[in-house]
Structures are given as structure tokens and as C-alpha cells.
Amino acid sequence: MAFPAGFGWGASTAAYQVEGGWDADGKGPSVWDTFTHQGGERVFQNQTGDVACGSYTLWEEDLKCIKQLGLTHYRFSLSWSRLLPDGTTGFINQKGIDYYNKIIDDLLTNGVIPIVTLYHFDLPQALEDKGGWLSEAIIESFDKYARFCFSMFGDRVKQWITINEPNILAIMAYDLGVFPPGVPHFGTGGYQAAHNLIKAHARSWHSYDSFFRKEQKGMVSLGIFAGWAEPADTNSVSDQEAAKRAIAFCLDFFAKPIFIDGDYPEVVKSQIAFMSKKQGYPSSRLPKFTEEEKRMIKGTADFFAVQYYTSRLVKYQENKKEVGFLQDVELQVFPDPSWKRLDWVYVVPWGIRKLLKYIKDTYNNPVIYITENGFPQGDPASLDDTQRWEYFRQTFQELFKDADPKVLNKYPAH
């Protein structure tokens, strides 16, 4: 299989997962530092990211790997609390600026395009103490942080991701409470956090558009996690509708407001209102955008960044009493027994093709960047990684079936 001309090959990392140096050179604590240091049943084997991959001190080794792989792009995230220890521009850590300047400059010197994520789940603890993503105050805090990063690095960084997987963050951190801050708010917290995440992204996009785009000429989007949902019984109307709801709650919940009209999908609004009423709530648990907010949110992405790993079969399952984001969707998800399993990822190559086709048709054929893809391996990972390259081989075969070489040449980071 030959790759099309202009095809971009990248790798992706996140600050907390690779940097280490959790309190080095003036860095402030993040919610993940606090959460893992507390230990207990919620933290696997009481492990922390205090050292992680040690990228804060071993960046030169990472760069060697990037060059050896022949990558054209490298996506990484900035640690908000390494740059702004208390989350505000009232306290700026120059050592943090120097660290990221070196990464960016080294990448460009070696012909690698940096794709920079502003926020990948590691909120400064000082801001979480003020309410985190449940508080509307976070919107202004994030916008100020984004402006700071654009001003510091935007002369060289031309592709920005504001927020990584806001849908996963909202559910895992503020609905289920299994991510920090670790406090569940079933059926309410996830929606409130999502509401603020969307507005924070939109505000920062407008800041870039108004104050930086003309000179820096970059692009800004957010990275949405999405898997494909296939009806378990293709002849069942209820399963078909459940699969549509699965995609609406996972992907369209964030994509439709940003790419289409500034508001949540109708099926999401009606489903949550229906479940809220059934459970005795006086009104829907989903917050509403004002008309002014809808206008502010609409059209705030310059490309579509999607993060795909796997797919699931979906079957309708009525929920009568349980309150929660996942319960609101009224479905059961499970794999086909024939699918190969690699931890939580089932190998479903055709899923990514169906997902991209859906995005193309639903969102007016946007430029799409696949900003994450792959599968997890146990520790220590085997160097005999035939499963890994087979996963990628099958995935790319699906991607390239209908690829237009002219489009790939025009947008080489696909």
C-alpha cells in the first residue's frame, strides 16, 4: 500500500502523561497531581505522573525518536500549570515558557510541524478549587490562558487544539467522577461542564480570530473523541435510533454547536428533557444557550479534529430510574464477538471510514484531521508489535479507499 503524496504522519502526546517534573522549576500542581497523590482505589497501583516518561528532562531523546520515525507532525499539549502555576497570568513561569519554546524551535528546525493542544485534562488545581469546569468563571480564565499561549508561541505554531476530548472530560471528571477532581455529579455535572467547555472554546477561538489570526495566520479547533456506533440489529428501528443517539451524544453534542448552528442536537435536547421529566425533575438537566451565546459559538473551528480508536454495536435499552449522562442515552453498547480485542479497543477498521463519511456528510465536508488513533498495550509493551502495524494497515486501507489525491495534496496533515 502506497501512501498518497503529501500524506502527513504524526505522533501525539499529552503533558501529564509524558512530561514528569510535576513540581520542577516553579510548576504548580494540576488536578491530576492532587488526584494521584491521594492514592487509594481510584488510582491504579497508586501510580502517579510525577516522573512519567521524563520528557521534561529527556526532550532531546524524544526528538531523536521523532526524527527516527520520520514524522512530519508532532502534537503535544501545554501544561497550563507549568506556564501559569496558579492558572492566571498574575504568575508567569519563565522556565515553562523556555521549555515549550525549545520543543517548538527544535521541531521546526528538523522540519516537523507542531500541533499544540492548550488543555489536555490537567487543570491547575488553583482553578479547580474555585469550581473548575462547573463554574462559569473558568471561561474567562481559559480565554486569558489561550491568549497568553497565542502571544507566546503563535508566531511559530500554526495549528492549535484548544481542548482535548471535552466529551470524555465532561463525562469522566464531572459526571462519573472517575477522573479528577473525583467527585461524581450524576446527570448534571457532565452537562454543566460540557456547557462551559463549549463556551470556553468558542471564546478562545474568537480571541485568536480577533487579535492573532491576521498576523499569525494559524488555525484553531478542538479535538473530539468519537467511535462509530453500529445498530446491533440493522432491522430494528429501536436499535437504529439508539445508534443515532449514541453518535449524537458523543460527537454531535460538541460538533453541532460549533460547526452548524450554536446549539445542541434536537435529539439530545429532547432525550434529556424526556428523561428528566420521567425522573421527576421540574425542567431539563441540560443547560440552555442564549441566542447571543449561540451566535458566539457557531462557526468557531477552522478544521475538524477527530480522535478515533474503536467502534461498538448498539442496542436500545430502556432506562426508568437511573440518572446519569450515559443512562440518558438509553442504550447498551457491546462488541461483536468476532472483533479482535486490545484492552478496551476492539479492532474495527471500517468504523473509522463510516465515521469520517458521517462527518463529511453532516458537517459540510470539512477539512478533517485525525489527531489521535491507535491502541493500548500492556506494560511492558512487546517489541513484537505485529498487532500494532496490522491495526494501522487495516485502518489506512479503509481511509484510502475513496481518498481524492488532490484533496490530500492540498491538506497534507490528513
In a domain, 230, yes or no: yes
Could you tell me if 42 and 66 lie in one domain? yes
**DSSP H or E segment with residue 125:** helix 125-128
State pLDDT tens for residues 90-119: 999 999 999 999 999 999 999 999 999 999
* Residue 321, pLDDT above cutoff 90: no
In a domain, 399, yes or no: no
The residue type found at 43 is: V
The answer to whether 373 touches 310, Cβ cutoff 8 Å, is no
Is the bond leading into 376 cis (omega within 30 degrees of zero)?
no
In a domain, 393, yes or no: no
- State yes or no: is 215 an active-site residue: no
In a domain, 380, yes or no: no
The pLDDT > 90 percentage for the chain reads 88
Q: Which stretches within 174-265 are classed as H helix?
A: 189-211, 213-216, 237-247, 253-256
Kindly state the average pLDDT of the residues 306-324: 94
Dihedral sign, CA of 253, 168, 331, 375?
positive
In a domain, 406, yes or no: no
The per-residue pLDDT for 292 is: 98
The per-residue pLDDT for 327 is: 94
Among 128, 230, 330, 372, the active-site one is 372
Which residue segment(s) compose the domain that 50 sits in?
7-217
Kindly state the average pLDDT of the residues 17-23: 98
Q: pLDDT band at residue 408, thresholds of 50, 70 and 90?
A: very low
In a domain, 383, yes or no: no
Could you tell me if 43 and 135 lie in one domain? yes
Could you tell me if 48 and 134 lie in one domain? yes
Could you tell me if 301 and 335 lie in one domain? yes
Question: Which of 177, 198, 217 is the endpoint of a domain?
Answer: 217
Among 128, 165, 230, 330, the active-site one is 165
Could you tell me if 79 and 180 lie in one domain? yes
Q: Environment class of residue 400 by beta-carbon count within 10 Å: exposed (0-12), middle (13-18) or buried (19+)?
A: middle
Kindly state the average pLDDT of the residues 182-200: 98
Could you tell me if 165 and 195 lie in one domain? yes
The Cα-based distances of 242 to 309, 332, 348, 360, 362 in angstroms read 20, 9, 19, 21, 18
pTM over 0.85, yes/no: yes
The per-residue pLDDT for 411 is: 39
Q: What are phi and psi of 334, to 5 degrees?
A: -165, 160
The pLDDT > 70 percentage for the chain reads 97
Q: Specify the pairing of strand 368-372 against strand 331-334.
A: unpaired
Could you tell me if 203 and 276 lie in one domain? no
Could you tell me if 209 and 271 lie in one domain? no
The per-residue pLDDT for 414 is: 38
**Angle of helix 94-109 versus helix 55-69 axis, rounded to 10:** 10
Could you tell me if 229 and 124 lie in one domain? no
The per-residue pLDDT for 407 is: 46
Question: Which of 365, 382, 407 is the endpoint of a domain?
Answer: 365
Using DSSP's 3-state secondary structure scheme, residue 230 falls into strand
Of 328 and 403, more confident: 328
Q: pLDDT band at residue 412, thresholds of 50, 70 and 90?
A: very low
The Cα-based distances of 367 to 129, 166, 197, 265, 413 in angstroms read 38, 20, 22, 21, 10
What total of structural domains would you count in the chain? 2
* Grid cell 501529564 in the structure block, residue: 16
Question: Which of 365, 394, 409 is the endpoint of a domain?
Answer: 365
Could you tell me if 51 and 81 lie in one domain? yes
- State yes or no: is 372 an active-site residue: yes
In a domain, 285, yes or no: yes
The CATH number given to whatever domain includes residue 128 is 3.20.20.80
- Which residues 6+ apart lie within 8 Å of 20 measured at CB? 49, 50, 51, 52, 53, 54, 55, 56, 57
- Which residues 6+ apart lie within 8 Å of 387 measured at CB? 340, 342, 375
The Cα-based distances of 191 to 199, 226, 233, 258, 264 in angstroms read 12, 17, 30, 16, 11
In a domain, 98, yes or no: yes
Could you tell me if 149 and 240 lie in one domain? no
Kindly state the average pLDDT of the residues 79-90: 98
Could you tell me if 148 and 174 lie in one domain? yes
Distance from C-alpha of 129 to C-alpha of 280, rounded to nearest angstrom? 31
